[in-house]
Structure 1
Amino acid sequence: MTQSIAPETTVKLSLIVPVFNEAETVSLFINSISTVFDKEPLVDLEILFINDGSTDDTLLRLLELQSIDNRIQIIELSRNFGKEAALTAGLQICSGQIIVPIDVDLQDPPQLIPAMITKWREGYEVVLGRRIDRDSDSWAKRSSANLFYRIHNKMTSSKIPENVGDFRLMDKCVVEAIKELPESRRFMKGLFAWVGFKTTYINYSRPQRSAGTSKFNGWKLWNFALEGITSFSTDPLKIWTYLGLTFSAISFLFAIFIALKVIIHGADVPGYASIMVAVTFLGGLQLIGIGILGEYLGRTYIESKRRPVFIIRQIYRGKR
């Protein structure tokens, strides 16, 4: 899509909503969605919940809501595959002309979607929701996120927009392009950025969660960051090559210094402490380098198996 869309044209919108143990929040989410879209007669709405292996009453609550709201479609995965896989499942099955991935905790405000649709009607194929206020996040989370964006964007050619999550509007042509990407280890923010297309932003302040607790912890976020960097850049391997060359040069110069010292002043007994420092330091560098190689090798090994990103247990379709 490259031309603007007439404002009086009815459009089908698919909301992709991954959920994992969110029984407390799904009702609040549907109420908020209804408040927004009951006033939008030109939007044919599909709400696609992806139940990512929830162990609480999330599925039962969704089925109750579906019985009174036929806009709700439920994809139940066979186990917890993770948010990236759940998003992929939603993108594979959605039928909308425009698609919006959105969190169920209402930290991505549904009230912003009509403004996104207006931008899409103007001819944009991607409309990003950009957070300008992250006071709802802890200082550690804000700082680590900013550091990740800086490091990632320094190392990769496809830049991830800062303070932009999965919350965005995408034209169907963008989703079709993403569906053509075959990798099984999927860092969706990177894939969204890699495909490109005509893009604009809408700024918003990120509110607190409506209910429940976040399923991400520090360890998961760390692994998520590693996935993002290793999926789109080989710079860590290059950096280790340069480090190896640098320390080899330093060692060679130090060897020359020792040889000249022995020639001029005679032999001396080397210090035990300096030897131990050198051995442990260089040994540590080698182990880190092996670890980085292992990260890439492990991802190559997983990709080579060509396992599916997700497995669907059942699809519950609303009667429309």
Structure 2
Amino acid sequence: MTVSGQPKLAVGLFKRVDRPVVVAFGCIVALLLVGSLYSRSFLSPEYLLQQLKVASFLGVIATGTMIVILLGQIDLSVPWVVAVGGMMSTAATGWGPAGEALAIPVGIACGVALGLVNGFGVAYLRIPSMIITLAVNAVAQGLMVVHTGGFSPQDSSSPAMRTLATGDLVFGLPNALIVWAVVGAGAIFLLNRTTFGRAVYGIGNRERAAYLSGIDTQRIVLIAFAIAGGLSAFGGVLLAGYASKAAQGMGDSYLLPAIASVVLGGASILGGRGSYSGTIAGVILITLLQSILSVVQMPEAGRQIIYGVVIIAMLLLYGRESRAR
């Protein structure tokens, strides 16, 4: 019985393995080996810890992106929601001691507000997510230009923002990495252990069926976009803390990497399928890829082309798998 049962057990374990996640982690190992050919420091603990720290900012932003993609939607407002989070949190520090204490909540609250606009447009007005989020991105950009008068923001980040982004208070681990771990743990619990998470997957698989089963699909979509907006803004807060100040367009380089990180980890861009472990692998993979492209001095245009090709390839691969199912 034991011998005959071993092949069945092996087949069962193989089926449980999330193939895209395994492939993503395999690519991470390959990138590290390729990078080590250029510099031995690619395999040093210091370098790996630094890359995880850099990945943390993208990881926080990609967490919100994943929740929206699981719905079968897309959020194109990420660039300027990130900028709003960073710029409004640094602006709050100019309000005095109370402003410094409220800087982080103010930045996140502004992102949540923009996310609610996105969610309301998608859930209640039935505007395609691509259109409404692109419009909100443009509105956010205009608001920030008005806020700064078109000039670079002069406000600096608060001590708490700098501590979160650059400090290492626990066993030498970067605080940013710990923040990402907390955000990730919250996302895993939310998606796997709550009715909200099950509703997100249900809506992504078939929204009408989810509605007929009693799920308040409009409320779930609204909350999901609000969470995504808050996390994008929080990413902006961390970036402002890392640089000690905010900048216009500081989130422009995070839209495609955030989407690519999610789809690289196996999440279907059509919704309904994906795991957070895959997003973790995708974020680390994209971060290492960015590092190697910097070493070989790949221009920014070339990097954007690579991200676009990755998204198209994953859409073709996982999109066909979803239809086959």
Structure with greater strand percent: 1
TM-score above 0.5, yes or no: no
User: What is the TM-score when the length of structure 1 is the normalising length?
Assistant: 0.22
More helix by share: 2
Q: Which has the higher contact order (CA 8 A, sep 6+)?
A: 2
TM-score by length of 2: 0.22
Report which of the two structures shows the higher radius of gyration computed on alpha carbons: 1
